[in-house]
Chains A and B, each alone.
Chain A
Amino acid sequence: MNSFPGKTFIIARHEFLKTIKRKEFLFMTFFFPVLFAGISILPAVLSGMNPAEDQKVGYIDMTGSFGFPESIQSEGLSLGSSGAKTSVTEFVMYREISDAKQALQAGQISSYLVIHEDFLNTGTIELYSLEKASVSNFELSSKLSDIVITSLLKDKVDEPTLNRVRDPVNIKFYNVGESGESSERGIADIFASFGLPLLTAFLLLFSIFSSSGFLLRGVAEEKENRIIEILLSSVTPSEILTGKILGLGAVGLLQIGIWLAAVVFGSGYALPIQIEPDTLLFAFIYFVLGFLFFASIMAGIGAVTGSLQESQQVAGIFTFAAALPLIFMQLILTNPGSPFSVFLSLFPLTSPVAMLTRMGATTVPISQILASIFILLISVHVVILLSSRLFRTYLLMYGKRPKVKEIWKNIWTGSR
């Protein structure tokens, strides 16, 4: 068939151009990052507008053993590198509770602490503030812990021990390679191995949700306005199907690209990860194959079902399957070699996300990676074949919805 790549490409290009001009696409693509940025940046902006104020805190130390500093500085939330806002907390000592209460009521201090004599047994410190005042100082708790530790252990242990008690454990992660050499895994590596699969999983799911939505809608519209009949007189159902999937796949990739760019540039700094080229390569392969697999399923559903609403209901079943690895993410990360994890990483509905997650958590045998890609490839091929049969049989049936048994029969006989 000499016309195969040509007509498929023409359809793909048409679908691509048509979809990116859709209002829904433009809205989703450009409004989504704004919304996302809004949600993530807004709290920081708001707290930047209300910087932590300097405050005076009174205290009554009935044990007489605490050495409060006169003041401590704390850094507030900051946006980017534009100068961290610092606030100062001053500590004022009172002998009597009544004095502190008077000072509080007079507005000289914002709150006062009472440390009772039995503190060593109870660990309780009471904080008093005015009824309407917000108790905003979450940091105070950790500051107080520091003061308590220092006061209790001062002169009893040496400086290094004191520091160790204040900051007990820092775990460093190492990988041991096949040849026995070990290498350190920094925070960035851990983020890369856990974060990348998660990010890819979300992007894959997002692209399925948005692009397959366009695909479902496109098929439903062409069925509804009957232009499908003209298309079928010019090209084969497989060409329509492949063209649509390629075109909308490109739309999905473009959308994700825009979102990624928005995340990277919007955050004002590069993501703190160094991604291995082969990880990126596998992520891309799974991304493309996974997309093809699901998009073909969606197209088949779109061809069979009568309305957009109905098709979305059926599509929901498969979308849920795609989300399974997210549900079992923890399990896969902690036990990447278990039979269940291996199964999820081979089963085509779940393999893209599951395999990427396993690859993040451990060194997956190359044979398993190749097997899963091979299974996925075969599955993509089979699903496209079945979907185009459904296309052929059901695209021209308007109105009545076929029975499941009938669809099943037609899938295998390919009747038209």
Chain B
Amino acid sequence: MHTLEFESVSKSFSERNVLEDISFSVKHGEIFGLLGPNGAGKTTLIRLLLDIIRPDYGEIRVFGDFLGPAAKNRIGYLPEERGLYKKTRLLDMLVYLAQLKGIPEKQAHLNAESLLQSLELDQYKYKKVEELSKGMQQKIQFLSAIIHEPELVILDEPFSGLDPLNTKTVMDRILGLRAAGKTIVLSTHMMEQAQTLCDRILMLNNGRRVLYGPVDDIRKERGNNSLIVEFAEKGDLNAIREISGIKKVTEHGKSVEIFPEEGVSVQILLEELVRKANLLRFEKTLPSLNEIFIETLESASNE
């Protein structure tokens, strides 16, 4: 069964099409990535599925049905632009937000206490939110999205503004949610995290679907494998210009990603490279989601 289904959904604001004919589905128990540049329509799509706004055309089904008040209680949501009640005590706020999701007060207390304990924020529970550090507030925001143990968790840019340590904490949490059988919709700019976490993705650009499917399939479909190479000397970078059969070279700081032309095998390319330059490291790889993201957007803007 699909946890979430969009069928030919369109939405416009004051005659501007924000989403056009969007169809996709999210399977139970997967991490589904919602990718796209700023203004692609990701947040609008999320608000549609939460029934905060309504579509102009098309159908949206959550848990196999139209979203009602009871189904809303089964969804957790971390908005991109997020905030907390600054003057409210941490515990009180979490309990309040859980109660709004239909959790009885006593149970809400228990949930809040155990979540705070698991992130070692226990000693701050009687503090006002404004007294906490920014990093702690970000963790609390994440907690507020999952305090009612939702079956479907929607995370809009959960990593924005997080330091590496907190990024890892949140990533672990997301994987933990999937392991517990929850379904996660993850909207993000961070392709690295998306590639690591997501089972399937939907990429939007200007309100249209430009990519959709399992991450692995998309990477394989996108032409050949690529080569990531690190040279011992900088001059060696020029050497590869002479090699035929290279479609594109992308520099990533110290290393470069080399894309072979269609029909050229990576194996032959590598042999040629070894002959011409002093390699420090090489890696056969699928094109990264980041590469695909940029390529897709560039080709879209050229059209």
B100 touches A234 (CB 8 A): yes
**Binary flags per residue of A403-416, CB closer than 8 Å to B gives 1, else 0:** 00010000000001
Residues A232 and B52 in contact in the complex (CB < 8 Å), given A18-B88, A225-B84, A226-B81: yes
- Indicate with 1 or 0, residue by residue over B196-227, a CB within 8 angstroms of chain A CB atoms: 00000000000000000000000000000000
Contact with A along B164-201 (1 / 0, CB 8 A): 00000000000000000000000000000000000000
Question: A416 to B54, Cβ gap below 8 A?
Answer: yes
B139 interface residue per 8 A CB criterion: no
Smallest CB separation, B140 vs chain A (Å):
12
In whole Å, how far is B285's beta carbon from the nearest beta carbon of chain A? 38
Q: CB < 8 Å: which of B52, B54, B84, B101 contacts A227?
A: B84
Interface residues of A in 1-45 (CB under 8 A from B): 1-4, 6-7, 10-11, 14, 18, 21-22
* Interchain nearest-CB distance for B234 vs A (Å): 47
Q: Which of B229-254 contact A (CB under 8 A)?
A: none
- Contacts A3-B69, A3-B102, A10-B99 given; indicate if A232 touches B87 (C-beta within 8 A): no
Question: A3-B102, A227-B84 in contact; A236/B96 too (CB < 8 A)?
Answer: no
Tell me the complex Cα distance, A11–B87, Å: 16
In the docked arrangement, what's the CA distance between A113 and B73, Å? 88
Docked complex: A212-259 residues within 8 A CB-CB of B: 224-227, 229-236
Query: Contact at A230–B88, with CB atoms within 8 Å?
Result: no
Q: Which of B70, B72, B96 contacts A233 (CB 8 A)?
A: B72
Name the distance in Å between B83's Cβ and chain A's nearest Cβ.
3
Whether A3 touches B99, Cβ cut-off 8 Å, given contacts A230-B77, A396-B52, A416-B53, is no
Contact of B47 with A396 in the complex, beta carbons under 8 Å: yes
Give which listed residue, B70, B73, B75, B79, contacts A226 with CB less than 8 A: B79
- Pick 30 A–B contacts, CB within 8 A, sort by A: A2-B70, A3-B69, A3-B70, A6-B102, A7-B99, A7-B100, A7-B102, A10-B99, A18-B85, A21-B87, A224-B83, A225-B83, A226-B79, A229-B52, A229-B82, A230-B77, A230-B82, A230-B97, A230-B144, A230-B145, A233-B72, A233-B75, A234-B73, A234-B97, A234-B101, A235-B72, A235-B100, A396-B47, A396-B53, A406-B14
- Known pairs A10-B100, A18-B88, A229-B52; list 15 more (Cβ under 8 Å): A3-B73, A225-B86, A226-B79, A227-B85, A229-B79, A229-B81, A230-B97, A231-B100, A232-B52, A233-B50, A233-B52, A233-B72, A233-B75, A233-B77, A234-B73
